[in-house]
Amino acid sequence: MESRIEFAGLMPHAPVLVPSVGGNSLYQVRSTAKAMTACAQRALEGHPETVVVISPHSPRRSGAFGLWHTPRLRGSFERFGAPEETVDLPLDRAFAERLELEAGLRGLSTWRITRGALDHGALVPLYYLAAHGWVGPTVVLGLDFPEEGGLDEIGRALSAAALGLNRQTAIIASGDMSHRLTPAAPEGYDPEAHRFDETFVGLLRKGAFGELRQIDPALQERAAEDVMDSTRVALAASDYRTGLHNEVLSYEGPFGVGYCVAVFLETGSPKTPHAGTADTGDKVVSRLEDLPEVARRAVEAKLRGGPAAPPFLARGELETRGAVFVTLETDAGLLRGCVGVTAPLERNLVWETWRIAVSAALFDSRFSPVTAEELPDLRFAVTVLGKIEPVACAGELDPSVYGVVVSAHDGRRGLLLPGLPGVDSMESQLAIARQKGGIGASEPVRLERFTAVSFSERAEAPPGGSPHAG
């Protein structure tokens, strides 16, 4: 079956896996946390254009699958004692709408979740993905009620949506295994519950994905699991393909709940993240001033069928890792796209710029995707961020020197780069950052600042600052 599903995996969703929530208890799930990191890195190393998370804890309605349709996919871990840990990602509206269409063609009903904050079933996997640089278009899919069926069909609809949009897609099934492994487990103790986990993990290790459907429903009930349905959707989306680097990365159950991290499908070769392997390329680049050319070549390659990897060999200061923003402007100075990350994902600044440039051109939700015909009339700028640090009060800000990040308790966040024309006071900088994050003028926020250097194709771009809104 032809497909654009190029990664599928399983992540648990226990909030204790988030360091600020888990605290000292994180040591007891260190194997799972390490595997979550590896799974997130492997999912993103394939450069997905859309990430889909299937959450068993999203709101449910009988007979229908839920799709989040809030303008931004946001949430925080406030109810778990860590309000500072947030997720804020753009909705891939086109993918969600295409999935609704494909589901309808298969006789399935869907409904739109249009308000509220993301549930922890979505938040925990997305936290790990965002921590490793994911800022791109995202879809969160909820489930129908247990035993209502349609799991394989909605999975096939996912695959059809990715193929119809020609969208390289990574899918994460969110789920915890038995909740009854020990007398202290949250759902009580069942002496047979461990058999579900052993069977489930054993089938994953063998790659016998189709046999998961044969696990005794009564055993599933005794285990009080919430992993089976989301896993089946992810496996159906990848057509239950096996032999393509499927792997169980970890399994443990220290709190009476089973946590399994697994890769079901990885169409490329497994990689060791940032292992220091050499770039393959035909041009050596060694200065930050070279990054706008890298950004332009990345977008040209994406639109015109060029190389998927940067045809550059990084040397000197470009061999380091760093967070970047890529900005596109028209010749008239109008913003055409701006996307960035606050923590690096890629092996060096060349690879980071290559990846972010495509997102800025094609997936900034404020604008339609850039076309090949527009490229000659656009100018690229790349801003490399310094360390982001908290500040105690607004008096520590200076818009000519520092960029700012403002964060609300519920995950809303606005970022503004430094050195913007017309932003000459701390008050105006904060007002614009609040507006970008959808945060009211009187709402309490957490403030952070950072330095940045920007390099543009425009010769008149001021060194050390940025003329771009970001």
- The CATH number of the domain holding residue 146 is 3.40.830.10
- Position 348, amino acid: N
% pLDDT > 90, the chain: 63
* 239 and 333, same domain (yes or no): no
Instruction: Assess if residue 211 is contained within a domain.
Output: yes
Q: What's the whole-number mean pLDDT along residues 268-297?
A: 68
More confident residue, 50 or 419: 50
Say yes or no: 142 and 234 in one domain: yes
- Highest mean pLDDT of the ranges 217-231, 330-344, 451-465: 217-231
Task: Give me the number of domains the chain comprises.
Answer: 2
Q: Residue 435 domain-assigned? A: no
182 and 286 inside one domain: no
Residue 305 lies in a domain: yes
192 and 291 belong to one structural domain:
no
Query: Which of the listed residues 378, 401, 423 is the one where a domain comes to its end?
Result: 378
Name the pLDDT band for 385 (thresholds 50, 70, 90).
Answer: very high
The reply to whether 65 and 214 lie within a common domain is yes
Which ranges constitute the DSSP H helices of 172-318?
A: 193-206, 217-223, 228-237, 291-304
Same domain, residue pair 193 and 129: yes
**Read out DSSP for 112-124?**
EE-SSPPPHHHHH
- Which of 213, 238, 266 is the C-terminal boundary of a domain? 266
Residues 350 and 220 in one domain: no
- Contact between 343 and 415 (Cβ < 8 Å): no
Q: Hey, which residues does 68 pair with through a beta bridge?
A: 113
Would you say residue 259 has pLDDT above 50?
yes
Neighbours of 443 (CB within 10 A): 14
- Asked whether residue 297 falls in the same domain as residue 194, the answer is no
Where among 266, 301, 321 does a domain terminate?
A: 266
CA angle centred on 318, ends 317 and 324, rounded to 5°: 115
Q: Name the pLDDT band for 354 (thresholds 50, 70, 90).
A: very high
Structure confidence at residue 374 as a pLDDT band (50, 70, 90): very high
Q: Confidence band (pLDDT; 50, 70, 90) for 325?
A: very high
pLDDT tens digit sequence for 158-175: 999 999 898 999 999 999
The mean-pLDDT minimum among 68-77, 241-250, 451-460 falls in 241-250
Q: For residue range 189-241, what is the model confidence (pLDDT) as tens digits?
A: 999 999 999 999 999 998 899 899 999 999 999 999 999 999 999 999 988 87
Q: Does residue 323 lie in a domain region? A: yes
In a domain, 438, yes or no: no
**CA-CA distance, 416 to 434, in Å (whole number)?**
9
Q: Is the pLDDT of residue 274 over 80?
A: no
Residues 166 and 310 in one domain: no
77 lies in some domain: yes
User: What domain range includes position 151?
Assistant: 5-266
CATH code for the domain of 350: 3.30.700.20
Residues 252 and 343 in one domain: no
Q: Do 82 and 127 fall within a single domain?
A: yes
More confident residue, 4 or 270: 4
The string of DSSP letters for 64-78 reads: BEEEE--SEEEEEEG
Q: Which residue type is seen at 66? A: G
Q: 3-state DSSP call for residue 321?
A: coil
pLDDT score of 276 more than 80: no
- For residue 9, give the 3-state DSSP assignment: strand
**pLDDT band per the 50, 70, 90 thresholds, residue 2:** low
Q: Are residues 192 and 159 in the same domain?
A: yes
Domain contains 134: yes
Q: Is residue 328 part of a domain?
A: yes
Q: Is the pLDDT of residue 467 over 60?
A: no
